[in-house]
Amino acid sequence: MTIYIGIMASSGGSGKDTVADMLIDFYTEHGLKARKYALSTGIYEICSWFVGRNNIQRKHLQAVGENIRHIFGDTAWIDATDKVIEREVEEHDLDVVIITDIRKMIEFGHYCFERDYLPLYIQTDMDVAKQRLAQRDSYTDDKSLNSSIEQELKFLENLSLESSDNKMKRLSETFLKQAAHKTFKNFRVICNNQGLEDLRSAVNAYASEAMKRRG
């Protein structure tokens, strides 16, 4: 049975791709075929046409991504990504599929509620995330980091701090009662404020748990 994982995070610089790579390392070592996908792949390609791949900034990605959604519909990037995943799961007999960049409620709903992806949230303090972005990109853009696009799933951090009983009590008051129970039962948080070794230990523990849950 294929393991599907959807990664989301508190902001850019949280380490989503790093976590995905560590997951792939773990599953590969255990003899499984794992591959990662990004909803933003097509956005990067479009931006590279205009400004060059080395000059792409977060504000470019956000602008292009949102404008394509306005023109072709809110699920434009979801639909394109799903087609690639469905084809490659069948062609390559993949055991593990990881989406690295779930940022919006519509994406969270589609993958974690409708498609039964295991939701994995990477929590990183903003100061730490900014420092990592500065090291990686040589700049930070506070306006882009604090945009509604980056903050749309921030509420998940608060849910992760509640007890399971409190989560279910609140969620049961919504029309998502049945789906929410299953989704949030599988919801996990990894804190990425320390070094790579601490992160790898947490990721390996999560990967092992996910493998057992999916049989």
Task: For 164, list phi and psi in degrees, rounded to 5.
Answer: -60, -40
Domain ranges of the chain: 3-39+95-213
Amino acid, res. 133 = L
Q: Is the pLDDT of residue 66 over 50?
A: yes
pLDDT, tens digit (0-9, with 9 covering 90-100), for 163-199: 445 544 554 454 444 455 577 788 899 999 999 999 9
Q: Give the containing element (helix H, strand E) for 6.
A: strand 3-9
The fold adopted by the segment(s) 3-39+95-213 is Rossmann fold (3.40.50)
Determine how many CB atoms are found less than 10 A away from the CB of residue 156: 19
CB atoms under 10 Å from CB of 203, counted, come to 24
pLDDT in tens, 71-103: 888 888 888 889 889 999 999 999 999 999 998
